[in-house]
Structure 1
Amino acid sequence: MKILIIDGDREVQAMLQSILHLSGYKVITTSTLEEAVDLCNCNVRGDKVGDKIDLVLMDLALSVGEVKGSDALADYKKIKSHKKFKNTPVIMMTGITDMDEIDEAFHQESIDYITKPIRKVDLIGRVRSVLSMKSEMDSRQAREKKLLEVTRKLEEAVQNLEQLSSYDALTGIANRRYFDKYLKLMWNRCSEDELELSLLMIDLDFFKDFNDTYGHQSGDSCLQEVASAFQSFFKVTGSLVCRYGGEEFAVILPDTAGDKALTLAEEARHQIEQLMIPHRMSSISDHVTVSIGLATTVPSEDVEIDSAMKLIDYADKALYMAKGQGRNQVMSYEEMKCYQRIPKSS
């Protein structure tokens, strides 16, 4: 271990250095605190000296004149304020005879000190005691640092697992698991704030025929392109685009009225058409298209759609109506009910 001695008396420096060296310690000597700081900022064989200091022995009488307890406290705070010595234990050496004053000053800050003239047995005993405590503290801090690092990595792993379990591996957007959690969250929020909540259920038209014709790799690329388009298009605050399953997507639109959701859905449908993904087996277009079902509710007020599950069910029913009416279109649940009221012609 390396000890730094700060003492203006060269003879004291030599005496302390000799005692400590014979006891197996490496010793560096300086006459002033400023010299010590300069030394620690210098490189010795490529290493920072300050990074190796394990203990500082510092004389109180570094300045001319009578040294009082308050001066001792100031000297101690001065050296401890320097980043090089922040975590380095310091033993103050003093020849002050008024022990009541110096003892009071030292105990306020729990400062360790040794009185002059310094006896070898006292010096070695005090140094070993302080270094033993430092070693124990260093070990404890290392364990705590390691524990913090392990905890951080564990938390990071949990977050990564949570993210992996919440997002679709193929498209990179939210999956069904996250959709269920988020819809419940938005349902409760819109219920508390008496806001409208809209849900879109989206299905790629004739996607099985697409896969059978172009192959599953092309089918995967199609899903990725459609998912990316939806993700880029839906920018409503709090909105969520997810892959609901297979070729089906869902979009949660909190604080979005039915008419606005209908407009967004129609624009999104058009966006997919504009991708111009070839689909020669579609009976309605030469390119990939989507059908969209929409349902809107105010969770705190709607008697008919009184749960998140019913919101999904009604949006799904509207989707199937859109598909039944010819696909490549948007159908709201309210519009679907109007269709159902129209009597069939005889």
Structure 2
Amino acid sequence: MNILVVDDSSYQCQLIIAMIEDSGFKAVCANGYKEALELLKENSVDLILMDIEMPDMNGFELTKIIRSTYPEWMPIIFLSANDSEVYLAKGIDAGGDDYLTKPVKQVVLAAKIRAMERISLMKSALDRVNKQLELLSCIDPLTQLLNRRGIDSMLNNLWKDNIEQKAELSLMMLDIDCFKLYNDNYGHQKGDDCLAQVSNIFNHALDQSNGVIGRYGGEEFIIALPCTPIASARFKAQEIINVLLAAKIEHQYSTVLPYVSVSIGISSTCTGAANIEALIKQADGALYQAKANKKNQYAVFNSIDTNT
């Protein structure tokens, strides 16, 4: 535990620090609110021991500022010679977590610090679990790719990064050809197996690039290619088409080929999309063009150029 002691009295500060260090913890002293706020900016603090009666700004006011400035919870224990119930209640209302009266006994202070340490560790563990749950909520369980929620978050971040970097962001919409016929004839379990296999192929095709892939819904996928010109996106699209065909996943009921194939629509920020939604719409329009042109090919937005 890294502990910050806030007290305008140098003597009291050194006394509390001696108790803390003797109990096996680290501590640093801040003489008043200005020094306390500076130390919080520059250091990682796990616990604050806050004196209440200080000039310029008392401990209650400083605690309110800390709580509004730092969203991450850190325990604050008030130290005061005033043992009235009113003061205790005021301290808790201000954002404090505990209250000790001076003179503080070392055994009590050490016990309070250990208690706050346990709470802090439990909170850290809970934060980790919540983070894992948040990540899982962005993953499609069938394909292990980003789901629609994860895609939306990823694309919004890439759009912002692209504006800052003044680079070109390319986008691909992919749709497995004649997938309804696959499901209708092979069954939905085989259809799920096919989606998982195709997803793995798409993912591996992006191994040597900075592309990010997600399942947009059903048999549709999105691939984002940050800092990638549209010419490179076209090359990657053709590579994906070829790799999927090379896998020779049987599809006897396809109207295109006896194997599973994919159609791809490509858009890029160079085509004037005002936002990420417009970029997706452009890629979707290009995908429609590729599907209309006998499938198993890519099409580029605002261009009749296709490749079979």
TM-score (norm 1): 0.56
Moved more, 179-188 or 242-251: 179-188
Structure 1 unmatched runs, 5+:
1-76, 89-131, 340-346
CA change 1:237–1:284 in 2 (3 A) is closer
What is the CA distance between 1:180 and its match in structure 2?
A: 1.2
CA change 1:326–1:319 in 2 (3 A) is same
Is 1:329 the equivalent of 2:297?
yes
Calculate percent identity across the aligned residue pairs: 33
Q: Which residue of 2 aligns with 1:156?
A: 128
Aligned positions of 1:112-131 closer than 5 A: none
- Verify the 8 A CA contact 1:236 1:253 in the aligned structure 2: no
Q: Which residue of 2 aligns with 1:220?
A: 192
Cα distance between partner residues in 1 of 2:299 and 2:284? 10
Aligned positions of 1:265-284 closer than 5 A: 265-284=237-256
Give 1:235's aligned amino acid: D
CA change 1:268–1:237 in 2 (3 A) is closer
Secondary structure in 2 matching 1:166: coil
CA change 1:147–1:238 in 2 (3 A) is farther
Secondary structure in 1 matching 2:145: coil
What is the CA distance between 1:135 and its match in structure 2?
A: 3.9
What is the CA distance between 1:212 and its match in structure 2?
A: 1.1
Q: Which residue of 1 aligns with 2:74?
A: none
Deviations 1:54-73 (A, max 9, x none): xxxxxxxxxxxxxxxxxxxx
What is the CA distance between 1:236 and its match in structure 2?
A: 5.8
What is the CA distance between 1:238 and its match in structure 2?
A: 4.3
Aligned positions of 1:1-346 closer than 5 A: 87=24, 133=105, 135-235=107-207, 238-298=210-270, 304-336=272-304
Give 1:196's aligned amino acid: E
What is the CA distance between 1:187 and its match in structure 2?
A: 1.3
Aligned-residue Cα RMSD (Å) equals 2.3
What is the CA distance between 1:181 and its match in structure 2?
A: 1.5
Name the count of aligned residue pairs.
209
Secondary structure in 1 matching 2:113: helix
Cα distance between partner residues in 2 of 1:188 and 1:238? 16
Structure whose CA Rg is larger: 1
What is the CA distance between 1:317 and its match in structure 2?
A: 0.7
Secondary structure in 2 matching 1:312: helix
Cα distance between partner residues in 2 of 1:144 and 1:224? 47
Cα distance between partner residues in 2 of 1:332 and 1:87? 65
What is the CA distance between 1:254 and its match in structure 2?
A: 0.6
Cα distance between partner residues in 2 of 1:140 and 1:275? 63
Cα distance between partner residues in 1 of 2:246 and 2:192? 19
